[in-house]
Amino acid sequence: MSDRPLDPRRAEIRKIAAEAEKDGHPARWFEKVYATASGDADAVPWAMERPNPYLLEWLDDTKTCGDGKSALVIGCGLGDDAEALAGRGFDVTAFDISETAIAWCRQRFPNSSVCYQVCDLFACDASWTRAFDFVFESRTVQSLPLKLRHTTIGMVSEFVADGGTLLVVANRRDTEAEPDGPPWPLSDSEFKRFEACGLTEIRRDCFDRNSRPTVRVEYHRVFNG
């Protein structure tokens, strides 16, 4: 449990999330967060309105260029990471369960090449299975309760094509005990779960830049052709 008092908007969001979980719809509350923000990104606690710095650093470090390769952004929020990948030459699809978030992306980036879609991670089109050269997952897995974790990690992993890359940015917890969420940061055994889903960990970087430790992990799906 966090020892810092939550600001009123975060406290409200935890209440919305807890109610949704009780009702058996642990992912539907995101729409409420975006809708009640009424176009004010400051009311969406995770929205940075700029690309994720851990993604940008990784792209620079690894000198990654899209060269028209396909990329998928999971739980894309307001679209900054999708736009950053499109700017690096990827052919990007980005989805979110929230209709309001996707409408917001389209409004923010009217001339974008990104294909923004409203989609539930647990009900994506079968044609997306193992279809993407690069998959970016930042903080969506941790935004869903622990009881869904194995399924969530399995779904995320299945988007990665043979020979493709998954980059995960998430907070890490140093215990297997259930934390008070959302968010519910990932434990070491949960990071390992990506490997049980057929991926190989290539590189891991750990950061302590804010109150929650952040981990960035690069996984590959080894080409078996």
- Site residues, ligand SAM (CB under 6 A): 27, 30, 46, 52, 75, 77, 96-98, 101, 120-122, 138-140, 143-144
Q: How far is the CB of 195 from ligand SAM (least distance, A)?
A: 22
Question: Closest distance between ligand SAM and the C-beta of residue 62, in Å?
Answer: 19
Q: Which is nearer to ligand SAM, 97 or 197 (CB)?
A: 97
- Residue 1 or 123: the one with the smaller Cβ distance to ligand SAM is 123
Cα dihedral sign, 31-152-129-223: positive
- By CB atoms closer than 10 A (0-12, 13-18, 19+), residue 68 is exposed
Which H helix or E strand runs over 33?
A: helix 29-37
CB of 73 to ligand SAM, least distance (A): 7
11 or 222: whose CB is closer to ligand SAM? Answer: 11
Q: Output phi, psi for 24, to 5 deg.
A: 85, 20
Six-digit token string for 119 = 């989609």
User: Is residue 30 within 8 Å of 98, Cβ to Cβ?
Assistant: yes
Nearest position to ligand SAM, beta carbon: 75
CB of 225 to ligand SAM, least distance (A): 30
Please, which residue, 140 or 165, has the CB nearer to ligand SAM? Answer: 140
Q: Of 144, 154, 169, whose CA–CA distance to 199 is shortest?
A: 154
